[in-house]
Chains A and B, each alone.
Chain A
């Protein structure tokens, strides 16, 4: 049986634990044994993005050390997977443990990427008809090169209609510390993303990323919108788990 590590990410751990559970369950449903090492905290991206590289490295090292075996490391987040896969090699360039970190980075996957590209899962939709819309997180697409994996999974669900956003790939305005350093610009971007989602007629906006979800949900709630954003893992698990 295939075995993988699962990395929660701090935002999923704290704000979307159900999505994390769902991610684990989806993998098990696909016949994979999931190993969840204790002691996980954060990938270090916020400090890295702000130029505090020593602090980012300190934290990153402790995370890498939790995953010693040569197994894939699966994350329910495009942004954190991008950090671990693409930016850890940059962060550890010239460091004594660079080779070790690179070897780790080579094993990192975002969840939908792993489900589609590696496991080639087949999903059976057990839910009622629903219309959804998809927001593609910037790092998932531009750092990881995600190209339609989430849409492919949604497409396998026979009772789910995907109504695309007008500006699917436009940034939602989260950007980590950007959301608090530039609140006006960030607010304008998330407002537009929320309005776009509302105009699709969907009942739920899906995304791979907890940051995007926090941002868009906060905005939708503030606007008193009936629409909500949900993590793709949670949605897929709800639709496909045995009743």
Chain B
């Protein structure tokens, strides 16, 4: 197999360069720049256009907003990451009710079947948002596992308005993702969808059917 590697790299090197290195003019990316309040508006517009739902909250009220949504929708449970910052705030503020908070605190192998069929919704934080197109940025990890925002049919995501960046490009710079990334990072712009049947949009294919963004106004 290393023969294949040597052969391939050998052929590529033998070919040599075939021209000057073109300059990179990133002006078109740098021009995507808005004031913080406008970023919120743009993000919301972009995401609502693809069926994302928004719940408004303040830094103090957001756990109640989440709980009220769960009660209103009669969700039997809400899966969350107890050791994440958002997760611990949520669980501290959670008042007992019909929706059980369910911690994702052990390897998935321990409860895979339940995860796939018995969990009504998953709650995660985010590390930022994208104004230009709309989108959330997440870094799943030990505190908030990957499947938390994927498997349950409803995904509730906490987004602080101050963390919204202009574009994916500026977010990458701001978050330092260009230098180093966790094992998994991702952008989510809405509930899962497809247009594979006669180009007709259908939502809720394999990922969550609903995406709720709890938008925390921490700008004012």
Direct contact of A and B (CB under 8 A): no
- Interface residues of chain B, those whose CB is within 8 Å of chain A, are none
